[in-house]
Chain A
Amino acid sequence: MKIPSELKYSNDHEWIRIDGEVAYIGITDFAQSELGDIVFVEIETVGEILKKEEVFGTVEAVKTVSDLFLPVGAEIIEVNPKLESNPELVNHDPYGEGWMVKVKLTNPSELDHLLDAASYSSLVGV
């Protein structure tokens, strides 16, 4: 189970990576393994400004469907274009090519309330 130390995590199993003015958000290795084979990522919130913990999309696996929650308040700038035809990237590379949205934070201080890798690791029991 990979939990990269440079990322921040939410209790809902999303990760966020800060990259200058923007940030990237996806689901964790633990989340993708619990969901199983992902067949469809639906995100129709580009251009919207959403609050922390609001739903920004859904992910459909063969067996189940799950909402995606924003770890911090942000404007959704872009959806990973590769997920349209290759949703399995979320399974294969959840922290890299399987990123889900690029966002602009509305309140960067909310990052302080997220989990670091060690705390997330104890949350999922690894």
Chain B
Amino acid sequence: MKNTALTNKHIGLGAKMVEFAGYNMPIQYSNLLLEHENVRTKAGMFDVSHMGEFLVEGKGALDLLQFVTSNDVSKLSPGKVQYSCLPNEQGGIVDDLLVYMMDTDKYMLVVNASNIEKDWNWINQWNEKFGAELKNASEFMSLLAIQGPKATQILQKLTKTDLSAIPYYHFAIGQFAGEDGVIISNTGYTGAGGFEIYMKNEDAEKIWDAIMEAGKEFGLLPVGLGARDTLRLEMAFCLYGNDINDTTSPIAAGLGWITKFNKDFINKANLLKDKEEGTPRKLVGFEMIDKGIPRHDYEIKDESGIKIGVVTSGTQSPSLGKAIGMGYVNTDTIKQNKPIFVEVRGKLLQAKIVKTPFYINN
């Protein structure tokens, strides 16, 4: 099991540690519900250094990324970030990722920890045609997410870079807590606002300590992966391995908005067909009417008990106080607006399809 540069910090703070994607990660420090609430109302800091970073540079960089990702990389300019996915040739998704444009012919990809090796091999395989320079920086970079309504005020104490001048899905590179070359990105996975900051491993402990200190007066708490999952699910953000995987169409997963057909890319023809003809099932958000909590892989059924879908993520929503979930449901059932049921321990519990995000930030 690998450690991040901050594993000892987490252990010192008394975090409950679990193995996640091969890394020794904090699942919670004190209490999941408290940490979740703290991100929604104040601020929380997550160590997400297990995420992977690839640098893609050189003349072939743009053409390579246009071909392997679904979104339109040509829309980026230096300082912008784009959410995207890597389609495979069978109609599914190799991974979802962020694409950072650092400079002309220079990009950074941020991928899921569980997929680092798979993505690396996949992109390199296609790069033979394009000849970009690829570097896997995952082992050398740390990533902290500082999320919540107080995040900007906390971080602004530690940098001269004007954070209010960095729009959503943009970033700046500057000095932070005395360290140079820190990437300060207005992105996140919680819907609570805030930043994600990338730094060299050797700077991670110092920056972590500086942020904890700066955040004291604002009630900042360290937050584990447990609350990260409930926060993202309230926003209906997809989690790779749960809601999307090698077999799910990005169109069926509601990722049509990051699938652009004005360029050539892997499996374009089939995904265009998915878009034009519709997919037999779609990822939807639902909330439980009957009492019970949906979980990954539970079956979704109709009134007569016929299987019409499957749950991909589910939890008791801490902010909403009700059980919510996401899952794939047959498109016909969705169109007919029929009641749906989740089978929980042999019982059919009624649920209803709702618009997402589940949680709306006030």
Contacts and interface: CB of A to CB of B under 8 A. Distances in A.
Interface of A: 36-37, 39-40, 42, 58, 60, 62-63, 65
B28 A60 contact: no
Contacts of A42: 291-292
A62 B345 contact: no
Contact of B345 (A36, A37, A58): A58
Nearest to A65: B295
Contacts of A36: 28, 31-32, 226
A62 B291 contact: no
A42 B349 CA distance: 13
Interface of B: 27-28, 31-33, 226, 229-230, 291-293, 295, 315-316, 318, 345
Main secondary structure of the interface of A (DSSP, over half): strand
A40 B226 contact: no
24 contacts: A36-B28, A36-B31, A36-B32, A36-B226, A37-B31, A37-B33, A39-B293, A39-B316, A40-B291, A40-B292, A40-B293, A40-B316, A42-B292, A60-B293, A60-B316, A62-B32, A62-B315, A62-B316, A62-B318, A63-B226, A63-B229, A63-B315, A65-B293, A65-B295
A63 to B, nearest CB: 6
B295 A62 contact: no
A63 B32 contact: yes
A62 B291 CA distance: 14
A41 B33 CA distance: 17
A40 B294 CA distance: 12
A37 B32 contact: yes
Ranked nearest first, the 9 interchain pairs of A and B with the lowest CB-CB distance are: A39-B316, A37-B33, A60-B293, A37-B32, A36-B32, A62-B32, A62-B316, A63-B226, A62-B315
Given A37-B32, A39-B316, A62 B230 contact: yes
Nearest to B225: A63
B259 to A, nearest CB: 32
Contacts of A65: 293, 295
A65 B230 CA distance: 15
Contacts of B316: 39-40, 60, 62
A55 B339 CA distance: 31
B209 to A, nearest CB: 27
Nearest to A84: B291
Contacts of B292: 40, 42, 60
